A and B are shown apart, each in its own frame.
Chain A
Amino acid sequence: MSYIQVNNLWKEFGQTPVLERINADIEQGAFVTLVGTSGCGKSTFLNMLLGITQPSRGEITLEDQPLKAEPDGERGIVFQRYSVFPHLNVRQNILIALEFSASPFLARLFGQAKNEALRKVDEIIERVGLSHAATRYPHELSGGMRQRLAIAQALIARPKVLLLDEPFGALDPGIRKDMHQLVKELWQQEKLTVFMVTHDLQEAFLLGTRLWVFDKVRHDPDDASVYGSRITYDLDLSTPQSAANADEFSGEIEQTIAQPVNTLPSS
């Protein structure tokens, strides 16, 4: 059986289908990048993986167990914004993850236990390159540093799956490149399974071992909201050969993404 299975997944908001008949098997250690025009349902899919949105039909299983209907420690998340706690400095932001799991009532560690936890915290701060800013608060960090912190925070909880929701969308191009490097390194070292939603097709090709494009297959000319999106491209990028083959689709995909979303009836 595959690590993650998506079985005949449908999602409707009220009468409006967003996703229809999504089926997929994902191997452990895959880096899946999700692209599509805005409103295509890629974020909805990520939210279902995260557990904050529930499927209307079908299910997602992780190691043959259906996903819990709320977020838990199996799935880590980095959002585009608001991922870190503004009232805690860098060290405390990461330490709190260890405190949550070790101290159910006070959610605080003391003495020896705290020192041990801080050693782990400092190690991961070092790995994401924030050692020089360990005692700064999030508002004193740049956008890129804040995302580094959010990633470190997610990683120290040792999730099985890491979900990235347009994590670099608000960053400058130069900083984005550094972040790609970091994410790739961490993904390889931790042997994580990653799902990343992005608007940037280049980024999707660069980081992914597998690229999904969400788009509508069926169109109703009178009412575009009748049908939901499906995965229209599922490209294997895991070997240089397959990536080269996939590259020829990039033009078509670029067009798909650039299209305005056609869920709204034209008025």
Chain B
Amino acid sequence: MRLINRQPSPPVKLLLGILPFVILFFVYVGASQQRLAENPNDKLLPDLTKMSTAMERLALEPSKRTGEYLFWQDTGSSLQRLALGVGISALMGLIIGLVNGAIPVVRANLSPLITAISLVPPMAILPILFIIFGLGEVSKVVLIIIGIAPFIMRDMQARTLEIPSEEIIKAQTLTANSWQIVIRVLLPQILPRLLDTVRLSLGAAWIFLIAAEAIASTDGLGYRIFLVRRYLSMDVILPYVLWITLLAFFIDWGLRIISQRMFPWYHSQKH
């Protein structure tokens, strides 16, 4: 049988999927042991005990300086910024993308501007944001918004334009006015697509968040990673990276579940 026709059975598929993770794990543990055997004070590849001690200190003991549980404070701050940035971007993207897609006059007016803005590299204007909004929370949230909102707007516009014109004509023959078509025909069909787009833009949102935290912040996951870099604290950096990955995974998974629960018609339509 040709290779392209050979389907792995479910248990084999699961095993094949897990295998790379297991290999990576053992490669790391092996490499770490080797380096520690040569030099017990090696910081580059800490072993699991070192990492868990470091994380226990950050997550379970209050900081000596501030009395806060640093790990949870970092997580809370980062998630709050991410949620604000992504939430505001999604709302802006939905409204502007929908109106752009639905109303040709508005589209002619706004679409070139949005395209131009989306081409500005957000990191290049980060200094401008710090100058205008200061080094506080606002500039970090604004960086995320500038980074992903234009993308969401453009995508929502494209998704709105993808809705078959037959549906819109049909609604008109059922006496619908423009507003009614937007809220009853276009909006409900765009919402599941918005969740798709938000899931796609989350990766970029994390980049902008961590970049902003690295440059000017007093807490946050990105801040901590860049702070402890000075002491080569791989025992903190690696678990933090793992934690960010895990958070990203669960947010993505959560959005997918929400979408499937709320819009069953959308998901069964796709295949």
Contacts and interface: CB of A to CB of B under 8 A. Distances in A.
A and B interact: yes
Interface of A: 50, 52, 70-73, 75-77, 79, 81-87, 96-97, 99-101, 104-108, 137-140, 150, 153-154, 157, 159
Contacts of A150: 170
Contacts of A71: 169, 172-173
A75 B173 contact: yes
A73 B180 contact: no
Nearest to A99: B184
B263 to A, nearest CB: 7
Interface residues of B, number: 25
- Chain B contact residues: over half helix, strand or loop, or mixed? helix
B164 interface: yes
Contacts of A107: 176, 179-180, 183-184
B268 A157 contact: no
B189 interface: yes
Contacts of B266: 86-87
A74 B141 CA distance: 50
B188 A153 contact: no
Contacts of B175: 72-73, 97, 100-101, 157
A108 B167 CA distance: 18
Contacts of B180: 100, 104, 107
A153 B169 contact: no
17 contacts: A71-B172, A73-B174, A76-B173, A77-B169, A77-B170, A85-B170, A85-B185, A86-B189, A87-B189, A87-B266, A100-B174, A100-B175, A101-B175, A108-B184, A137-B264, A153-B170, A154-B170
B265 A73 contact: no
Contacts of B38: none
Q: Is the interface of A mostly helix, strand, loop or mixed?
A: loop
Interface string B260-271: 000111101100
Contacts of A106: 183
Interface in B172-221: 172-177, 179-180, 183-185, 188-189
Given A81-B166, A105-B179, A86 B174 contact: no
B79 interface: no
A124 B209 CA distance: 55
Sort A-B residue pairs by CB-CB distance and give the 8 closest, nearest first.
A82-B164, A71-B172, A82-B166, A73-B175, A107-B180, A97-B174, A100-B176, A137-B265
Of residues A100, A104, A157, which shows the largest number of chain B Cβ atoms within 10 Å of its Cβ? A100
Given A104-B180, A107-B180, A87 B265 contact: yes
A108 B179 CA distance: 13
A218 B43 CA distance: 89
